[in-house]
Amino acid sequence: MAMSGGLDSSVSAILLKEQGYDVVGVTMKLWNYPPSCSLHSSACCDVDAINDARQLAVSLDIPHFVLDFTKEFKDIVIDNFISEYLQARTPNPCILCNIHLKWKALIEKAKQLDCSAIATGHYARIKYENGRYFVSKAKDATKDQSYVLWGLSQDNLAKTIFPLGDYTKAEIRKIAQAKGFVKLAQKRESYDICFIPDNQYRDFLKEHVSDIEQRMPCGNFLDTNGNVVGKHKGIAYYTIGQRKGLEVAFGVPKYVCRINSEDNTITLGDKADLLSTKMQVRSCVFSKYEQIPADFEAETKIRYRDYGHKSLINQKGDELNVTFIEPASAITPGQSAVIYEGDDVVAGGFIDICE
C-alpha cells in the first residue's frame, strides 16, 4: 500500500486491512523539502507526512518501509519539469511520476515482499473487459483522478487496486472519524505539484536554473498581427491561456495565445484567439482498446479540471489526431490529453501541436 501520510492513502490501508488483505505500507521519499515547507504546507511525502504514515502503520499493525527515490525523482520528474518550461511547454509532473517512479518502484518492492498487488489512494476504478484493463472514473466526480492515470500499462493495471473508487471524499473522512482517527479526518488536501507547495513555480525555476535569465531572456509581446506591444520577462514564466501578470495594459483582457521559443516571442490575443479545432497527441498509452477505430467519437479532456470536449479521434501508431466538434480553448502543449468513452479511459498522451 502506497502510504503518503495523507487521508486518502491512510483510509485505503484501513479498508484493505478490514477486507482481509495482508497489507504492507510503503512510503516514497521523493523530494528534500526545506524545514519551513513541512511546517506550513500540506505537501505529501515531507518529513511530517512520512512520520504520519509510519504511525498509522504501527496503529494498524502492518509493516512499513520508506523508499528513498530523491535521485530518481530529480532525474526523471524535476529535470523534465524544468526542460519543458524552458521549451515553452507546460509539464505534467504528477503523470511522469506515476508512470516512471511510483508504479515501477512499488511493483518492484511488491515482488521483493512477495505481494500480489499494489494499492494507492487515487480516486478511480479499474475495469477489465475483452482482455483489456483500463481506468474508469471514480464515484466522486469532484475527486476523480482518472486523468492522471492514463499512462499506466496493462501490466501495471493488472497488479493495481484502487480502494477508494467507490467512495466519496466525504465518506472517506467519515470512515477515518469513525475509526478514531480524528486528526487524520481533518487533514488538508495535498498540493497537485508536491515539490512546489506554495505554487510559485517561477521561483522554483529561478532557484534551480542559475542561468535562466541568459537562457530565457526578455523578449517581445506581439499582437495577433505580429506587432510588438510590450516586453515579456522570459517565455518560461508564461503559459497558454494566462491573463494575469502580463503587465501590459490594453483596456480589455488579453491572453497568452502562442509561445514561440524559436524567436522568443509571446502572442497576446482575445479570448476567441485561444480556440482550436485540432491537436496532435504524442507518446500515447492505449487502455480500453489496443487499436482505436477511425473517427472514434469520444470526450477529450485537455487538463485536469476540464469537463471534456466532444471530439473525433484517429490513431496513427502511438499518436492521436484529435478533431473537436466545437473548438476547445487554451490547449496547452506539454499537458495531457485523455480520451474517454463514457467514464472509461480509452487512451492518453501528451499534447504536442494544436491548430
What's the pLDDT score for residue 45? 59
> Of these residues, 45, 115, 194, 257, which one is catalytic?
194
**122: helix, strand or coil:** coil
Q: What angle do CA 175, 180, 185 make, to 5 degrees?
A: 55
Q: Is the pLDDT of residue 40 over 60?
A: no
Q: Which residues pair with 229 in a beta bridge?
A: none
Contact 344, 127 (CB under 8 A): yes
**126: helix, strand or coil:** strand
What's the pLDDT score for residue 34? 59
What's the pLDDT score for residue 195? 83
Instruction: Tell the residue number behind the cell numbers 515579456, with chain if given.
Output: 232
Grid cell locating 191: 498540493
> Going from the N-terminus, what domains does the chain have, and what CATH number goes with each?
7-121+163-185 (3.40.50.620), 217-269 (2.30.30.280), 274-354 (2.40.30.10)
> Of these residues, 44, 97, 115, 354, which one is catalytic?
97
Q: Which residues pair with 64 in a beta bridge?
A: 25
Q: Could you report how far apart the first and last alpha carbons of the chain are, in Å?
A: 43
- At a CB cut-off of 8 Å and minimum separation 6, what does 41 contact? 191, 197, 198
Task: Band the pLDDT of 42: cuts 50, 70, 90.
Answer: very low
Q: Which of residues 191 and 10 earns the better pLDDT score?
A: 10
pLDDT digits (tens, 9 = 90+) for 319-340: 999 999 999 999 999 999 999 9
Question: 3-state SS string over 211-279?
Answer: CHHHHCCCEEEECCCCCEEEEECCHHHCCCCCCCCCCCCCCCCCEEEEEECCCCEEEEECHHHHEEEEE
Percentage with pLDDT > 70 across the chain: 95
Q: Is the pLDDT of residue 154 over 70?
A: yes
Is residue 94 annotated as a catalytic residue, yes or no? Answer: no
Q: Which residues pair with 347 in a beta bridge?
A: 286, 339
pLDDT digits (tens, 9 = 90+) for 262-310: 999 999 999 999 999 999 999 999 999 999 999 999 999 999 989 999 9
DSSP codes joined into one string, 42-92: --TTSHHHHHHHHHHHHHHT--EEEEE-HHHHIIIIIHHHHHHHHTT----
Identify residue 319 by its one-letter amino acid code.
Answer: E
